[in-house]
Amino acid sequence: MIIFVRKFASNMGNCHQCIVKEFNSLRALSSEELKCVSSHKNEMSFKKGDVIFKEGMMLNGVYCIKEGKCKLTKLSPNGKEQIVKFIKNGDMLGYRSVLGEEPVNLSVVALEDMEACFIPKKDIFDSIQHNKDFSKDMFKVVCHDLKDANSTIANMAQKTVRERLADTLLFLDETFGEDEDGNINIKLSREEIANVIGTATESAIRLLSDLKKGNIISLTGKKIKIVNESALKKIGNGF
């Protein structure tokens, strides 16, 4: 069952004044185009654990993430979840499905309370048709996603689970930064970490414990701090 927690409030925010747009393709829109988007979008709220959209759904627009983090997951035939990607504030969701006019092939779940703006696909297509810079930027994003997907496939095939864990921790640290205590600024369960690197939860727990014993990371509940970044990079590179 999908539970949506949404607070619709059209036109509450002005896209032209929103700093989030500077981190995605919306920065290529003109002032008039941003006014048009502002007049049509809906502001939405999601609670931690909410499903934003589910694999197989058709989307009528894209989501611009204002605040919060979420995970993109793929469900295997045997019911096992694979975390494919993480999304943070400033990112956009659903554009590949909208551009391709096909059902989404991933599910998206909020990792914490989130705020997002839903932009109807008509505004996206109108902007693509009339604004070549926006069109170019959108397709650059799609190409970048494809590049990331190819790298992920190669890593899953060529790297050991230990190497993938090291790469994942470095990626999370680079992507989400650190909190005031130096911990990676995202909290994931051991099962979620296992679902990122493609292994059993027990293996992820053991590997994290090994890194802790080697004084490469420190663990406090779901909080992870990288203590020795150079050692972690060596592991990720197969040394």
Domains in the chain with CATH codes:
19-131 (2.60.120.10), 158-236 (1.10.10.10)
Chain length of the chain: 239
pLDDT digit string, tens, across residues 15-25:
655 655 555 67
> Maximum CA pair distance of the chain?
57
Q: What is the pLDDT of residues 117-176, one digit of tens each?
A: 999 999 888 888 888 888 888 888 888 888 888 888 888 888 999 999 999 999 999 999
In this structure, are strands 81-87 and 114-120 parallel, antiparallel, or unpaired? unpaired
Q: How many CA atoms lie within 13 A of 234 on its CB side?
A: 7
Q: What is the pTM of this model?
A: 0.80
Question: Beta-carbon neighbour count of residue 16 at 10 Å?
Answer: 16
Q: How far is CA 111 from CA 30, 51, 63, 83, 196, in A?
A: 33, 10, 16, 12, 14
Share the mean pLDDT of the chain.
86
Strands (E) located in the chain: 42-46, 51-53, 61-67, 70-75, 81-87, 92-93, 107-110, 114-120, 217-220, 223-226
Greater confidence, 149 or 192? 192
